C-alpha cells in the first residue's frame, strides 16, 4: 500500500517563521517529499530555500523544472513561477496569477491532488487573504489530509481562517505540532486508486476550477455563469462560480480569485484609476494656466483660462481628498 508521501505547504505574510519551525521539526528520514509555496516579490531573488535548509535536517533547494521527486527533500517555489507537482517530477512554469500571486498556493495544491490523490497532505500557514483555501478543499475531496496552522498562533490569520471555512481540517495546531503530525501520518499506509485524472500532466492547460468540477462540486464554466464583472488584471469577462457558500471568480485566460482577493485587486485598480484621474486633472489645470499666460492679462481669453485652471485645480483637490479618505478607511489600495 502507498503512504502519504507528498506534503504541500502554502504560506504568505508572516509565513517564514512557521515554515522554519515546521521544516525544522521534520526528521531526516521523512518518507515524503515536501513542496513549499510562499508568496514573494516577482522580481527579487528568494533566499527561502537556504533559510529552510539551515532550519532543519532536510535538504531544501529551489524547485527546478523536470526535477525528479525524492522523499526527504524540500522543493521551494521560485519567484514569479508556479510550482506544479506531476507524477514523479516537478514542473516550474509561468501561468496566470491566482489570487494575485505567482507562485500560487492553490496551483500547487491542485496539481498535487490531481497527481497523487489520497497520498497528499496539504498544509496552510500564516498569510493574508485566501490563497490555498480552495486548493486545500481539492486535496480533501480527493482523499488527502487537510492541515491548518492554528489561526491564534499565525501572525496573519486570514489564510488559516479561510482554509478552515472552505473545508474540514483533519488537524489544526501550531507549526511545531504540525511537524510531528506530518512525521506520523507520512509513515501510515493509505489506500489509493490510480485514476487517469491524477496524472497532473495537463495542469497548465486546465481551468483552475476543473479540480472541483471533477468531483462534482461545481460546474465547469459555461454560458449563464458570467458575472457581468471584468477581470482586474486582463479586463476580460469573469465567471462567478459557487461551491455552497463559497464564491470564486475566474476569467477566460485563467486569472482566478477568491472573494477577498477579488475585492483587494479591484481596490488596487480603483486606487490606480483615481491617481490617474488626479494626475490628468492637475495636468489639465496646468494647461489652462499656461494658456492664460499666452494672452494679455486683461483679455477675456486670459481670464477665462485662468478661471478654468482654478476650477480644475479644485476638482483635483476634491478627488485627492476622496482618495485619501478611501485609503484611510481601507476601501481601496
- 187-234 per-position pLDDT tens digit: 999 986 555 455 544 444 444 444 434 433 334 444 447 788 889 888
| 16 and 160 together in one domain | yes
In a domain, 281, yes or no: yes
Instruction: Give just the sign of the alpha carbon dihedral 242, 239, 163, 123.
Output: positive
Closest Cα to residue 53, out of 32, 78, 72?
A: 72
| 153 and 92 together in one domain | yes
Host domain of residue 236: 226-333
Q: Which of 66-75, 223-232, 246-255, 316-325 comes out lowest in average pLDDT?
A: 223-232
* 66 φ/ψ sector (left φ>0, alpha ψ -120 to 50, else beta): left
89 - beta bridge partners?
Answer: 68, 86
Question: Model's pTM, two decimal places?
Answer: 0.80
| Residues 138 and 217 sit within 8 Å (Cβ to Cβ) | no
In a domain, 100, yes or no: yes
| pLDDT tens string 124-147 | 999 999 999 999 999 999 999 999
In a domain, 76, yes or no: yes
Q: What's the CATH number where 94 sits?
A: 3.40.50.180
pLDDT of residue 51: 98
In a domain, 296, yes or no: yes
For 98, which DSSP code?
A: B
| 35 and 141 together in one domain | yes
| pLDDT tens string 145-166 | 999 999 999 999 999 999 999 9
Q: Which three cell numbers stand for residue 226?
A: 458570467
| 92 and 157 together in one domain | yes
Q: Which residues are catalytic?
A: 12, 39, 131
| pLDDT tens string 283-297 | 999 999 999 999 998
Domain total for the chain? Answer: 2
Q: 147: part of which helix (H) or strand (E)?
A: strand 145-149
Each as own residue / partner, the long-range contacts of residues 322-331 (CB below 8 Å, 24 or more positions apart, any chain) are 322/274, 323/271, 323/274, 323/275, 323/278, 326/270, 326/271, 326/274, 327/271, 331/267
| 41 and 171 together in one domain | yes
| 106 and 250 together in one domain | no
| 301 and 176 together in one domain | no
The arithmetic mean of pLDDT across residues 246-254, rounded, is: 83
CA 110 to CA 77: how far, in whole Å? 15
In a domain, 284, yes or no: yes
CA 319 to CA 294: how far, in whole Å? 28
| 115 and 164 together in one domain | yes
| 174 and 286 together in one domain | no
| 166 and 35 together in one domain | yes
| Residues 219 and 225 sit within 8 Å (Cβ to Cβ) | yes
Question: Grid cell 476569467 — which residue?
Answer: 251
pLDDT of residue 245: 64
pLDDT of residue 201: 43
**CB count, 10 Å around CB of 14?**
18
Distances (CA, A) of 192 to 117, 224, 236: 7, 36, 39
Share of the chain above pLDDT 90, in %: 72
Amino acid at each position: 500500500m502507498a503512504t502519504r508521501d507528498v506534503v504541500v505547504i502554502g504560506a504568505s505574510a508572516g509565513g517564514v517563521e512557521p515554515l522554519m519551525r515546521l521544516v525544522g521539526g521534520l526528521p531526516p528520514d521523512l518518507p515524503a517529499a515536501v513542496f513549499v509555496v510562499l508568496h514573494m516579490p516577482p522580481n527579487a531573488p528568494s533566499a527561502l530555500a537556504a533559510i529552510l535548509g539551515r532550519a532543519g535536517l532536510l535538504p531544501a533547494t529551489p524547485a527546478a523544472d523536470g526535477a525528479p521527486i525524492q522523499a526527504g527533500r524540500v522543493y521551494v517555489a521560485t519567484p514569479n513561477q508556479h510550482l506544479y507537482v506531476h507524477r514523479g517530477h516537478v514542473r516550474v512554469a509561468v501561468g496566470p496569477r491566482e489570487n494575485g500571486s505567482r507562485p500560487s498556493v492553490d496551483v500547487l495544491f491542485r496539481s498535487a491532488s490531481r497527481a497523487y490523490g489520497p497520498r497528499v497532505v496539504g498544509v496552510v500557514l500564516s498569510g493574508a487573504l485566501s490563497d490555498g483555501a480552495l486548493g486545500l478543499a481539492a486535496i480533501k475531496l480527493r482523499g488527502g489530509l487537510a492541515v491548518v496552522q492554528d489561526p491564534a498562533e499565525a501572525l496573519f490569520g486570514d489564510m488559516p481562517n479561510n482554509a478552515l471555512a472552505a473545508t474540514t481540517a483533519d488537524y489544526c495546531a501550531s507549526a511545531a505540532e504540525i511537524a510531528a503530525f506530518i512525521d506520523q501520518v507520512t509513515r501510515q499506509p493509505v489506500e489509493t486508486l490510480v485514476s487517469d485524472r491524477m496524472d497532473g500532466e495537463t495542469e497548465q492547460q486546465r481551468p483552475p476550477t476543473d479540480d472541483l468540477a471533477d468531483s462534482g462540486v461545481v460546474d465547469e464554466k459555461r454560458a449563464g455563469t458570467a458575472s457581468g464583472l471584468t477581470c482586474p488584471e486582463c479586463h476580460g469577462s469573469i465567471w462567478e462560480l459557487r461551491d455552497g457558500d463559497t464564491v470564486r471568480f475566474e476569467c477566460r485566460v485563467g486569472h482566478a480569485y477568491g472573494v477577498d482577493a477579488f475585492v483587494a485587486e479591484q481596490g488596487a485598480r480603483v486606487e490606480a484609476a483615481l491617481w490617474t484621474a488626479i494626475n490628468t486633472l492637475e495636468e489639465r489645470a496646468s494647461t489652462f494656466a499656461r494658456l492664460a499666460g499666452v494672452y494679455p492679462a486683461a483679455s477675456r481669453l486670459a481670464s477665462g483660462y485662468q478661471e478654468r485652471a482654478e476650477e480644475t485645480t479644485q476638482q483635483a483637490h476634491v478627488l485627492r481628498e476622496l482618495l485619501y479618505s478611501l485609503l484611510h478607511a481601507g476601501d481601496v489600495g
